[in-house]
A and B are shown apart, each in its own frame.
Chain A
Amino acid sequence: MNKFFERRYVVTGIFIVIIITLLARLFYIQIVDDRYTLYANSNVRRTQIVYPARGPILDRKGRVLVQNEPIYDVNVNPKEVRAFDTVAFCKMLGIDKAGFDKRLAKAIKYSPNKESPFEKQLPVEMYAALQEKLFEFPGFYVQPRTVRAYPDSVAAQFLGFIGEATPRDIKRSNGYYRLGDYIGVTGVEKSYEEVLRGQRGVKVQMVDSRGIPKGSYANGALDTVARSGERLTSSLDIEIQKLGEKLMKDKLGSIVAIEPSTGEILCYVSSPTYDPNLMVGRERGNNSAKMYNDPYKPFFTRPIQAYYPPGSSFKPLSALVALQEGLITPQTTYNCPGYYMAGNVKVKCTHVHGVVNLSNAIAGSCNGFFDMVFEKLMNARGPRNTTPSFVDWRNKVNKFGLGAKLGVDIPNEGRGNVPTALHYDNIYHPGRWRSSTIISLAIGQGELEATPMQLANIECTIANHGFFYKPHLIKGIGDKDIIKDEYTQKNYVGIDPQYFEPVIDGMQNVVEGNNGYATARRSRIPGIIMCGKTGTAQNPHGKNHSLFVAYAPRENPKIAIAVVVENSGDGGNYAAPIASFIVEKYLKGMITKRESGITVDEFANMNLLPDLALYQHDLQRERRRDSIRAVKADSIKKFKADSMKKATQLKSAKNNKPGSWGNLFAGRGKGK
C-alpha cells in the first residue's frame, strides 16, 4: 500500500461509469429505439411483386380478342449497382451510354435504394441473352410481366389500352398502383380494370449485402399468391366486327349493332380505327403520338362520343310519341305539296309526296307529314302554350335514351343533346317561341344530337315494341355470365306496343317498298325483312353525314343497328348498304348476291375521307363544344359545394360504383 492507494477507487469509478454509459446506450438502441429492426428488415428483405396475368377478353363465341404475351422489364436498384461493363450492357438492351445514364439518373431520383424500372418490355429474345449475363450486372433485375396481344387486331376502341399508372392514378388508388404498374386507360380495359387486373402477389426474399437472394423470408410467411385477372366475355361478334372495320376503312363514322333481346352490343366500329397492337411494346410511345396527332382522330370513340343530328332517322320516334299521345292515328294523312307551312314559315320537303299516311310518310321520309305531327305535339295545349307541351315531348324523347348517358360499360360516353325549354327561353325570350320556331326538331335537325349508340338503342326499343336493355359490351366475367343488374332490367319508354306496328310497316317499306321513295331499297337482303330508316344529318362544313338505322328480321328481331358514314351524303347511299352487309353476315353468317349488285368489296374500297381543310373546321367546333362542356362541369361542381346534403348523396352514389364490383366478388366468394 502506498499513499496513492485510494486512487484505485477513482480508476474503478471511471471504469464503471463508462461501461454503464455504454450499457445505457445499448439499452437505448436495442430496447428503446425500434427503428433498427425496421432497418434490418429493409436491408435483408426484398419484396418482389408477382404480377398476375391480366384477364383475357373473348368475343361472344369465345374467340380471343385480347390475350397476354410474356415480356420482361429490367429493374434497377441503384444501391446495389457496382462497376460493370456498361458497354456490353447497353448493347444488350439496345441503348446508348447517354440513354443509360438518363435511365439510371431517373431511377436514383425515384429512390436511391429501391428497385424501380430501368428499361421496359424487352422481347423474349433479348431477355434470353440478358438473363445469361445478368449476374455480371449487379443491381439489375429482370421482372417478367405480360403485355396485351391482339391476335385479330380488331375492336381497338372497344378494348381500349393499358398504360403505365400516372402519378394521379397512383394517388387515387391509395397506393395500390406503383410506379411502372399498368392500368387500363381507355375502353373495357379501363371500365373493367378491377376485374381484369387480378390480384398481385408478393414474394419476400432475403438478400445478402450484395443483393444476392438467399431464400424466402420466414418460409414464405409474408408471401401472397398472385391471382390472375378474370376472363371477360364480351358480347362482340368478332366476325361482324371485322367485317364492319373492313367496310368502314377510309371512312369516318361508326357502326353500332345491338341484340335487342339482351342489349348486348354485337358490333362496335369506330372509324378510323387503329391496330391495338401498336399500343403495346417499346414503340408504343411513338405510335401513340402519331395517332394522337392524326387529324381524323383514331382515339375518338365515335360510337359513344360523336354527336350527330339524327335527321330523318328520328321520324319513327316522333311518330310513336304522337301516336301514344293520341294526336295522330295510323290513318292520319297529309297532303304533301313539297313543303309544309309552319305558321308563316315554309318548310321544304324532299319530294311532292301527295297524300301520305303514317307508314307511307316514314317510308317516303316525308318532312311535311312530320312537321305536321310535331306541330300537333307542340300545340296540344294550345298554340300559345308551347312550353309545357315541349317539356312533355322532351321527357318522352328522353325516355328513349336520348340526351343522357345510356350507361354503356365503356368510359367517356357522351350524352347527346335534346334541347331544353330553358335553352329556347334564353334564345327567344320565355314564352316567345312557338312550334314553328323549333320546327326543325320535327325532322331530327336543329339542336337535336345523338350518338350512334343512342340511335341503335332507339332501334332496339322499336324492335322490342317499347323497351330496351341498357347496351353493354361485357356479358360474362370469368366462368359465370354475370353482368350488372342494370343490364338485365327492361327500360320502358312509355309507348304502348300496339303503336309500333304502323311505324314498323313504314320502316319495312324504307327497305322493301316499291313506291320509289324507299330510300334504302338498294340494301335489301334476300330472304330477310329489315326495317330501317335512312337519315341525312346536315353538315354545314361539307357533305352531309349518311345515317341508317334498322333492325332485322322484322319478326323476332335479332339485331338492331345504327351506321353513320360522315361526309358521304344521303343515308341510303352508304350507311344503309353497309348496315345491310353487317345484318346479313350476322343473321346468315355469309353475304349473298344482291339484286342491286352492291358488294362488300365495292364499299370497303371506297375512300370517303373528307378534305382535311374542311374537316379541321369541324374539329375546332367540336373542341369548342368540349370546352363549353368543361365549363358546365365546373358550375356543377360549384353547385355541389353549395348543397352539403346533395354533395354527400352524390358522394355515396360515387362510392357505390366501385362497391358494386366488390359486391360482385363477395357474391362469388359465397357461391364457392
Chain B
Amino acid sequence: MNNNHSQRSFFFNVDWVTVFLYLIFCTIGWFNIHAAVFDEKHPSFIDSNTHYGKQFIYIIAGVVVGMIILLLESRFIATLAPVFYVVTTLLLIVVLVIGKNVGGNQAWINIGGGFRLQPSEFAKFSTCLLLARYLSSVNIKVTEVKSFFIAAAIILFPMILIKLQPDDGSTLVFCSLIFVLYREGLSPYFLVTIGTMITLFITSQIYNEYYIMIIIVIIGAIIAYANKRNRQAIFKTIAVVAVCVGFVFIAKPLYNHGLKQHQRARIDVVLGITTDSHGVGYNQNQSKIAIGSGRLWGKGYLKGTQTKYAFVPEQSTDFIFCTIGEEWGFAGSVVVLGLYLFLLLRIIFIAERQRAPFSRIYAYGVASVLFFHVVINIAMAIGVMPVIGIPLPFISYGGSSLLSFTILLFVLIKLDSNRMGIV
C-alpha cells in the first residue's frame, strides 16, 4: 500500500510544517543579511555582488537540493550512509592539505566560480547518518561497552579532523550528539557528569577553589546523611565528592594550560574576569549593544544603527542575530527563538513517530545539531558564552552551512515521509 502511495506522489506524507518552517527561516535569514550588509549601491535583494544576492542563490539551490532529496529512496540514503561518511572524512583530510585558510581555520576547499566548500558542515550530516545507521543495526545497544565505543568513535573521528583545522566551533557541535546516545539508552549519569563538570569548571574559574570545595563537601554531607542507612551510597557519595573536589583543583591549571591564549581570553570576557571592550571583547560587546538597543519592538528594518554602520564584525554570518535583535527587538527575538523551539519540538515529534529506529536516531541527531547551533550562536551573541564561530541554522549567510542544514533537514523529511516503512 505505502509503496504504491510513494510511487504515486513524491510529496506523499511530506511533513509540510517542517518544510514551511524551513522556508520561513531562509526568508528571515535573507532579509536580515540584506539589512546587515546593506549596500546603497546594490539595493536589490538579488544582486549577486552582495551577500544577500548570493544568499538568494543559495536558498534556491537549497530548495532544489531539498527536492532532489525528496526524490531519492529512503532505503538508498540509509545504504549510502557509510559512503557519505567516508567521502566527508576524505574531504576533511583533503581540506587539511589543500584547504584555504580563512580567519585562522583551514576549513574551506575552493571549488571554482568564487564558491568554497566547507566539508565540516557536511560532516555533521554524514556523522548523524552513520551514527543512526550503526545504532539502528540489529544487536547494537549503546548500553553495551563495545557498541558505545564504536558509536563514540564515529563521532570523535570527524571531530579530531576538524579540530586539526582548528575549527573549535564545528568541533564542539559534535558533542551535541550526546543527546542522541542518551535517547538511545546511554546512562543519564553521563549527562549529569558532563553538566557537573561544566558547572564546576566554570565556577572554579571565577570563585576561590576552597569555597567551592566547602560547598561540595556540604552537599555531599547532606546526601550522605540522607542515605545514612545505606553504607554503599555513603561510600559512593564520598567518592563523587572526592572526584569533584579534585576536579575543582585541576580546573584552573587545566584552563590555563589546556586552552590557547585566544580561547582563554574569550572565556574570560564572558565570565567577567576581564573586560576588554576594545580588543578581544569588542565583537561581543558591540553585539550586546546592538541587541540590547533594539528594546521591545526594534529599530525597524534597515534602521539599526549598529547594524547599518558596521559596528559588529561578521554580522551577516556568525553575528546575524544582532540584526534581528536590533531591528526587530525583543519581539523579533522571541519569534525567531520560538520558531526554532517549534522546529526542534516538531523534529522530536517526528522522531518519535518513526517505526524505524534508523529514522528516529537520525532525527535526534538533526535536533541535537540544530539545537546546539542555535543555543551557542545566540548565547554567544548576547554574551553568555564565549565567542564560538558557528552559524545560526538557515539564517546565517553562507552556502555551505545553508546547504548542509538543508540536506540534514530534508533527509529527515524524506525519511519521515516513509515513516511507515522499516527503511
* A15 nearest CB across to chain B (Å): 5
Complex contact A30–B292 (CB within 8 A) = yes
Please state if A7 and B182 are interface contacts (CB–CB under 8 Å): yes
Choose one: B179, B309, B329, B382; the contact of A11 (CB below 8 Å): B179
Contact B291 A23 (CB under 8 A): no
Q: Mark A1-35, 1 if CB is under 8 A from B, else 0.
A: 11111011011101110110011011101110111
Q: Write out the residue numbers on chain B whose beta carbons fall within 8 Å of the beta carbon of A18.
A: 371, 375
A206 at the interface (CB under 8 A from B): yes
- B388 to chain A minimum Cβ distance, whole angstroms, is 15
Q: How many residues on A have C-beta within 8 angstroms of the other chain's C-beta atoms?
A: 41
Contacts A4-B184, A15-B341 hold; do A44 and B309 have CB atoms under 8 A apart? yes
| Chain B residues, CB < 8 A from A112 | 278
Partner of A206, one of B296, B309, B310: B309
Contacts of A29 in B (CB 8 A): 288, 291-292, 382-383
Binds A, one of B163-171, B345-353, B391-399: B345-353
Contact mask for chain B residues 265-296; partner A; CB cutoff 8 A; 1 contact, 0 none:
00000000000001000000010111111111
Asked whether any CB of chain A lies closer than 8 Å to the CB of B250, the reply is no
Q: Does B205 contact A (CB under 8 A)?
A: no
In whole angstroms, how far apart are the Cα atoms of A219 and B153 in the complex?
61
Binds B, one of A49-57, A175-183, A207-215: A207-215
In the assembled complex, B409 has its CB within 8 A of some CB on chain A: no
A31: chain B residues within 8 A (beta carbon) = 295-296, 330
Q: Answer yes or no: A40 CB below 8 A from chain B CBs.
A: yes
B220 interface residue, CB < 8 Å from A?
no
Size of chain B's interface in residues, with CB distance under 8 A? 48
Partner of B337, one of A5, A23, A40: A23
Most buried by B among A18, A26, A35, A39: A26
Q: Say yes or no: A4-B185 contact (C-beta < 8 A), given A22-B379, A29-B382, A31-B296.
A: yes
Say how far A508's CB is from chain B's closest CB, in angstroms: 80
User: Chain B nearest CB: distance from A628 CB in Å?
Assistant: 55
Inside 8 A of B345's CB, which chain A residues have their CB?
12, 15-16
- B306 located at the interface, meaning its Cβ lies under 8 Å from any Cβ of chain A in the complex: yes
Hey, which chain B residues are within 8 Å of A23, CB to CB? 333-334, 337
Question: Which residues of B338-388 are within 8 A (CB) of A?
Answer: 340-341, 344-345, 348, 351-352, 357, 364, 367, 371, 374-375, 378-379, 382-384
Determine the chain A residues whose CB is within 8 A of the CB of B340 once the complex forms. 19
CB distance from A11 to the nearest CB of B (A): 6
Q: Are A16 and B291 in contact (CB under 8 A)?
A: no
Task: Report if A36 contacts B (CB, 8 A).
Answer: yes
- State whether A44 touches B305 (Cβ < 8 A): yes
Q: Which of the residues A30, A208, A209 comes within 8 Å of B296, measured between beta carbons?
A: A30
A424 to chain B, nearest CB (A): 71
Instruction: Tell me if A43 is interfacial: C-beta within 8 Å of chain B.
Output: yes
B residues near A33, Cβ cutoff 8 Å = 292
Known: A31-B296, A35-B292. A25 touches B384 (CB 8 A): yes
Q: Which of A3, A26, A40, A79 contacts B293 (CB under 8 A)? A: A40
Q: List 26 A-B contacts (CB under 8 A).
A: A4-B185, A8-B348, A10-B182, A11-B179, A11-B182, A11-B183, A15-B344, A16-B341, A19-B337, A22-B337, A23-B334, A25-B379, A25-B384, A26-B333, A26-B334, A26-B378, A29-B383, A30-B291, A30-B329, A40-B305, A40-B306, A40-B326, A43-B305, A207-B309, A209-B309, A209-B311
Interface residues of B (CB under 8 A from A): 179, 182-185, 188, 278, 286, 288-296, 305-306, 308-311, 325-326, 329-330, 333-334, 337, 340-341, 344-345, 348, 351-352, 357, 364, 367, 371, 374-375, 378-379, 382-384
The 3 closest A-B pairs by CB, nearest first: A36-B292, A208-B309, A40-B293
